[in-house]
Structure 1
Amino acid sequence: MKRYSSSSSSNSRPVSVLCVLALLLAIVAAHSHVTDQSSEIIDHIISKNYLKFARHVDELKSSGEFEQMFDSSSSDGSIDVQLVDGHLPGYDCQHDNIMQTRKIVKPKDNKDMLPRKHYDRLNKQHDDELVQETNANVGPIRINFDTTFLHSKKDPMGCYSTGQKVTFGNGGRGINCSLASEPNCIYTCQANEIFTDALGNLIEQVILPTIRDVFSAFLSVNRVDGNLVLTDTYADRECDNNYRIPDYYFEKGIANTDIVMFITARPTFSSATIATALACSFPIYNNNFFGRPYAAGINFNPYYFKPLLNNPNQFLFKEYIRVGLHEATHALGFSRIFYDSFLNPSTGQKYGYSPSYSFTDSAPTPSGPVSVTRSGIRTPNVVNFVREHYDCASLQHQLLEDAGGQGTAGSHWEKRTVGEEYMLGYVQPVFPITGLTLALLADSGWYAINNTYVEPLMWGRKLGCSWFAGCTATSWSATGYFANSIKDSCTPTRVGKGTVRVYSYDKDLAPEYRHFDNATIGGADYAADYCPYSDVTPNFRQNAYCVDEANQRIASKSIGEYYGSDSRCFEYTSLGSSSQACWKYQCTADKKLQILVKSTWVTCLPGSSPTVDGIAVQCPKNFYICDFNVIPIPGLGNLTMPVDSASSVSSSATLILLSLLSLFSLFILI
């Protein structure tokens, strides 16, 4: 190694230090703009596994197995799933319908509630603290998937050949058998529902590891010491219908596991159901007081995998994964059978009130307020979250869904107040995993939550008590939330170019759903209480998701449009007309919004209208996504995750400054 004389060293050191300082300061300047990508935490985890999925599909095609998975030449009259503008069609969650068919066994003897000390270690973990595995008792949840029924044609309800007869449920007990071809819920398998080993490998090697990765990033538990041994919960030790849990789980158990999930891939009794899940083993104490679920069943409907395999794009893959996460969350405890068994995380004891409750509320209408019965969750972390999120200190709950009947109402968030969240009963392409649902899981007393990993909930953010109470032209005056007639607009969270759809119905809407003087007029979405709001409706007008990179094919080059996870919808005027565009955005270190219009980054101050080549951008009054900065995700290299900037410092700048100091010290010592 070349050694410098003292004279050359003393002469070169200032130049070297200045050069390095200049270089690093340039790097700092380059990083002063922090592009927030609000879905990037989970999206990065999913994207990592999407690459595995894409390789899997390529291998299937090269080996010839792809054509064998679905017999497109079949003439049995089966109908393929039709994607709607490249996205999944409407999704119908059947969780509560399935749970009502389960017959819980009574405990053989009366058991006391678990003592408080069982929860003490968990409760010591701060909500925002990443639980380290060095703690022998508390750590990221360990999920073990039992995929026995994915292989060797072992599932008695699986479709393995066209024309095969299977039974939905237990011959129709509590199940809608409208799809059955014969009495007693007998169903005839169609070609597009045939399960193959290749499909089983796809679920086992790609879908399930992604679900495990996501939950282990968010959830920690008091880990099971030794083997996880299950207790009898349902009659005949049945999990899902005709899935009897093997006896060794109740006798010997399984090591290094906090919850075991039994996986199937069989047709479902609702053609709109992509997946289903249920908790199938949990402790039962006095008076039907339940403990944390230790086993669950998840079923994937093979019917829905053909469009994914035929169209293996990343955005569609994310939709499938998030549906699986939605269902698994039900099995973890987001289910109305568990609410009254929740334990207050601050005490380890049962709440002194029912965590879920019904109450009389007042809904605003043009003719005055009307009384309506609603239901909600009122646990501490949920209440704290909604008060801060909506900027409404008087809120006492988050509402539960009241639409959709037995399958949806009660075990999902109310769509009007949440809009885009993965635990809505009506899943859509954009459904983030937010602090709202994680607050509920924390309030169960069963989980410690790593809140630094949550995705921002943007729907209704900071819009106040009147916005939460109901939709009127005044309370819902923010962009995308209300219109008196059909109107193109950016969606409320700016993830897409949408349209407010207002329709005239055949009869008067219920009093609490009337938002116009004419009682027959209402929005398109009954799950959102017929409130009119801008939504991306596939194949409708100019609607498109800005966050879907596949839409880049329709990007308008004349205005420099861009589609991707770091794109949002913004309004603009040009040549006297107004419209919407999908543009790349970034947030500066001081939380200012910048938008890339053509090749120019413009700083978009609230209410201003910067102009680029005749394009006048209408800057939003509030772009709350810039409240969140990004920091590295441990174990995922240079990937990022959003955190509230008020509680953290931009780690990229911190790391650069530390590097600056380290290198400065190094050169001083040379």
Structure 2
Amino acid sequence: MLQEAPCLAALLHILCPATERICPLTHCLTSSASHAHKVKNSMTTMHLSFYRLALLYATVVHVLFPTRNCVAKAVRTHQVTLSAFPSTSAPEKPSPHAKLSIPTAAHTPRPNGESVACASDRISLARRSVPAVLVVPHTAANGTGFIGAQEAGGQGDAEEWRPIQIRAFTRDLNDPQRFCTAAGDRRVSFLGDDVVCDASSVLTVRKKRFLLERALPLGIKMHSDRLAVHPVDVNVALPELESTCAAFSVPPEHFVSNPAVADMYVYVGAMQDASGALAWATTCAVLNDGRPFAGVTNISPWHLKETEEVVRTVTHELGHILGFMSNYFRNVDALKKVTTRGGMHRYVVDTEHTRRVTSEHFNCTNVYGIELENIGGDGVVDSHIDRRFVADDLMTQRSIGGRYTVFSLASFESLGFYRVNYSCAEPSLWGLHSGCGFFHNECFVNGTTAYPDVFCSRVPVQGDESCTHDRLGIGYCNLFECTQDIPERYRYFDNPRLGGEILADYCPSVGLSENRSCEHGNSEEMHGSFIGKGSRCVRGSDLRYKEGAVAAACVEMDCTDRILRVRVLGGEWQECPEGKSVQPKSNGGLWSGSIICPRHADVCARTECGALVLEPLPPQENDMEPVSAEIEETHPDVPNESSAGTVEGAESEKSEEVVHDDVIPEDAVPEKSAEDSGTTESTWAPCLRHLYSAVPVLFNVFVVYL
């Protein structure tokens, strides 16, 4: 540290005794006190010792801390190699008087063997605060100023808009001190917590590859396919980041005014989280019009499974950085407090965009917009779509499916920063066209629901499986008996302890079981189901396959005609009229009983626009090894047209979606101008001036102290 900060080294050389020149500040003060108390134990000497210590302390406050700050700025700005990785020490805590925002805990784990319906503290990120977002200073490039989304929208100039370009920087995935390499490792998380690594949180080469080559590029593409912005065509320089944001490794070039290489910068980590959260994110800096420009996210390695769910988790986190947080909705006057079902008060995103999509989805004109989550802790409440309102949306906490529906799109449009592509909205079947009753009434009345395709009332037992509401998989009704009474306003059954998940206002529904997706499930765990693209779930009536009972099965669907056609595993194509029961056609009598034909709209609603296609990750010899600085890993620096991470509308073929090198590629870093190259002297100058101004104070210390 002394070699990196010469003026700080000089100061410590003066203040600390010769034998303690490399000691920390606390040791320096301790040794000074010890030296003073060795003098004669008289009242006068004690007074002199106290005066010495007080003067020394004042000198340290006056000289050391400002000097340290100017040194840090100089080193970070100009010495790239010294700031490749941040310190592993805990980030500084913000002032309690600062305006605060909260990292969003997008996903939290389900406790093994426990009902998540019974404890709200298990669904929220521990309360941690980070400073409010900072405005990014920028100047116009080539005389062209930034045109805000709202202003450009008013002009109706379509050429002013393009698909958003997001660039992820992953330096913290290259430093072994910033992730777990073995069980028992001790690390400091990005939130400043001490963690002891467990085996499931070790970042292996394959987990890192999946994050870099699949999850991040696909998550970015999910947004770029649907959101357009006015491009950032100005010079930008990040402000000095604080707290959580400062804990991430940010390329030094980002603190120098240069043309932006993307519309949003994201800094990514993969550290075990002390609270057990699967992932979290927050915004760090905004443009002058308030649009988010930079943010951070952490994905816990134990959650990095090669599934579509993980890709959608990453997409969810990016959504928070894009502005899906309560403070952003509040800043644009989109939040409104309303009274909902059962007399509950909650916030909604209430704009013309959200009212329109809500009315069309539920087939109800008496609506007030999109309800926000009212249960959970900081980072959950009012920063997610309410799960009872719509359980399968991308921005719902613990979403069932995580679809990029019209609700997320309308929410982003309401911020005023984005234009959205509704033609790429993924379908939601949650309460679709169910009328105002679904929107305004309780899910159960006297233990009975008017919406059996969405809600369920059977305590799960082995073999009593059913289809999820979206027909995309098989699962069990998440109806549990809690260890204590459920709040009275959420009691739907005679048993006061019986209810569903707390985030859904205790309304029980069928949750997708692991490995039981109709398109990507494990056939060995899904007796009688066809697994593949376009497969959907149907319920059975006395249905059996090879002498084994089948309560629900995934079957092939043909949606080309008005009347649905289906084919069971090993069977033949046959018509399946809506609401009718038909006996499966099969060779050799493999099937008996009947299947209940679903609604055509429930199994045929899909979109190819912006579809998420997760290709298998090819194996690599060192996949199971922990990531280390010594392991040389190869990843494509530049995605080609067929790459999952390619963003449509990029300025050039060399634009990258995921930057996973330790240094930004040369073609992505603009050359510094002559003006920029001369900033070294101007940055060090305040440091030297401050030391010079402190000379009289230091002289007084010598006179009194010695």
Aligned to 2:215: 207
CA distance in 2, matches of 1:207, 1:630: 19
Q: Give secondary structure in 2 for the equivalent of 1:417.
A: coil
Residue 441 (structure 1) shift: 0.7
2:504 maps to a residue whose letter is A
Please tell me whether the aligned partners of residues 279 and 297 of structure 2 are also in contact (alpha carbons under 8 angstroms): yes
Q: 1:456 aligns with which of 420, 427, 434?
A: 427
1:572 maps to a residue whose letter is G
CA distance in 2, matches of 1:298, 1:449: 23
| Residues 407-486 of structure 1 mapped to structure 2, 5 A cutoff | 407-428=379-400, 430-469=401-440, 470-472=442-444, 475-483=449-457, 485-486=459-460
| Residues 33-44 of structure 1 mapped to structure 2, 5 A cutoff | none
**CA deviation vs aligned residue, 1:99-142 (integer Å, no higher than 9, x gap):** x322556999xxxxx9987534346679xxxx7xxx3x321111
Aligned to 1:102: 131
Alignment of 1:262 with 2:267, yes or no, is: yes
Residue 551 (structure 1) shift: 2.0
Aligned to 2:532: 564
Aligned to 2:331: 341
Aligned to 1:381: 353
**CA deviation vs aligned residue, 1:274-331 (integer Å, no higher than 9, x gap):** 32221111146xxxxx6110111122223434xx3xxxxxxx4212111111111100
CA distance in 1, matches of 2:607, 2:204: 44
Please tell me whether the aligned partners of residues 180 and 197 of structure 2 are also in contact (alpha carbons under 8 angstroms): yes
- CA RMSD, Structure 1 to Structure 2 (Å): 3.9
* Residues 425 and 463 of structure 1: CA distance in aligned 2, closer, same or farther (over 3 Å): same
* Residues 340 and 230 of structure 1: CA distance in aligned 2, closer, same or farther (over 3 Å): farther
CA distance in 2, matches of 1:427, 1:601: 33
CA distance in 2, matches of 1:206, 1:528: 30
* Residues 419 and 192 of structure 1: CA distance in aligned 2, closer, same or farther (over 3 Å): closer
* Residues 277 and 254 of structure 1: CA distance in aligned 2, closer, same or farther (over 3 Å): farther
Aligned to 1:490: 467
Please tell me whether the aligned partners of residues 230 and 294 of structure 1 are also in contact (alpha carbons under 8 angstroms): no
Aligned to 2:36: none
Please tell me whether the aligned partners of residues 540 and 593 of structure 2 are also in contact (alpha carbons under 8 angstroms): yes
Residue 621 (structure 1) shift: 4.9
Please tell me whether the aligned partners of residues 239 and 296 of structure 1 are also in contact (alpha carbons under 8 angstroms): no
* Residues 507 and 122 of structure 1: CA distance in aligned 2, closer, same or farther (over 3 Å): same
Q: Give secondary structure in 2 for the equivalent of 1:324.
A: helix
Q: 1:508 aligns with which of 462, 481, 485?
A: 485
1:571 maps to a residue whose letter is R
Please tell me whether the aligned partners of residues 481 and 533 of structure 1 are also in contact (alpha carbons under 8 angstroms): yes
Aligned to 2:366: 394
* Residues 622 and 581 of structure 1: CA distance in aligned 2, closer, same or farther (over 3 Å): same
Q: 189-198 or 254-263, which moves further after superposition?
A: 189-198
**CA deviation vs aligned residue, 1:600-635 (integer Å, no higher than 9, x gap):** 222222222233355433223564343557579899
CA distance in 2, matches of 1:147, 1:403: 33
Q: Give secondary structure in 2 for the equivalent of 1:321.
A: helix
CA distance in 2, matches of 1:575, 1:440: 43
Q: 2:169 aligns with which of 143, 146, 149?
A: 146
Please tell me whether the aligned partners of residues 403 and 409 of structure 1 are also in contact (alpha carbons under 8 angstroms): yes
CA distance in 2, matches of 1:162, 1:494: 39
Unaligned runs of 5+ in 2: 1-108, 114-118, 138-144, 586-591, 613-639, 645-706
Q: Give secondary structure in 1 for the equivalent of 2:225.
A: helix
Q: Give secondary structure in 2 for the equivalent of 1:223.
A: coil
**CA deviation vs aligned residue, 1:541-582 (integer Å, no higher than 9, x gap):** xxx63424332234545xxx3123411211233479983221
Q: 1:274 aligns with which of 278, 285, 290?
A: 278
Alignment of 1:317 with 2:307, yes or no, is: yes
Q: 1:356 aligns with which of 335, 356, 380?
A: 335
| Residues 643-662 of structure 1 mapped to structure 2, 5 A cutoff | none
Aligned to 1:527: 503
| Residues 536-615 of structure 1 mapped to structure 2, 5 A cutoff | 536-538=512-514, 545-557=516-528, 561-574=529-542, 579-590=551-562, 592-597=563-568, 598-613=570-585, 614-615=592-593
Q: 1:121 aligns with which of 142, 149, 152?
A: 152
* Residues 625 and 377 of structure 1: CA distance in aligned 2, closer, same or farther (over 3 Å): farther
Q: 291-300 or 615-624, which moves further after superposition?
A: 615-624
* Residues 484 and 124 of structure 1: CA distance in aligned 2, closer, same or farther (over 3 Å): farther
* Residues 478 and 169 of structure 1: CA distance in aligned 2, closer, same or farther (over 3 Å): same
Q: Give secondary structure in 2 for the equivalent of 1:393.
A: coil
Please tell me whether the aligned partners of residues 278 and 300 of structure 2 are also in contact (alpha carbons under 8 angstroms): yes
| Residues 621-636 of structure 1 mapped to structure 2, 5 A cutoff | 621=599, 623-626=601-604
Q: Give secondary structure in 2 for the equivalent of 1:294.
A: strand
CA distance in 2, matches of 1:196, 1:581: 36
Please tell me whether the aligned partners of residues 95 and 330 of structure 1 are also in contact (alpha carbons under 8 angstroms): no
Q: Give secondary structure in 2 for the equivalent of 1:337.
A: helix
CA distance in 1, matches of 2:502, 2:410: 26
Residue 361 (structure 1) shift: 2.6
Percent same amino acid at aligned positions? Answer: 23
Residue 424 (structure 1) shift: 1.6
* Residues 168 and 629 of structure 1: CA distance in aligned 2, closer, same or farther (over 3 Å): closer
Q: 1:186 aligns with which of 189, 194, 197?
A: 194
CA distance in 1, matches of 2:605, 2:213: 37
Total equivalences in the alignment: 479
Aligned to 1:222: 230
Residue 599 (structure 1) shift: 2.8
**CA deviation vs aligned residue, 1:58-108 (integer Å, no higher than 9, x gap):** xxxxxxxxxxxxxxxxxxxxxxx99999xxxx998867955x322556999
Unaligned runs of 5+ in 1: 1-80, 109-113, 172-184, 285-289, 309-315, 343-353, 364-370, 539-543, 640-670
Residue 588 (structure 1) shift: 2.2
Residue 494 (structure 1) shift: 1.8
Please tell me whether the aligned partners of residues 479 and 489 of structure 1 are also in contact (alpha carbons under 8 angstroms): no
Residue 258 (structure 1) shift: 0.7
Q: 419-428 or 382-391, which moves further after superposition?
A: 419-428
Residue 426 (structure 1) shift: 1.4
* Residues 552 and 125 of structure 1: CA distance in aligned 2, closer, same or farther (over 3 Å): farther
Divergent runs of 4+, >6 A: 81-85, 90-96, 114-117, 575-578, 631-637
* Residues 199 and 123 of structure 1: CA distance in aligned 2, closer, same or farther (over 3 Å): farther
TM-score normalised over the length of structure 2:
0.60
Residue 583 (structure 1) shift: 0.8
Aligned to 1:177: none
Residue 497 (structure 1) shift: 2.6
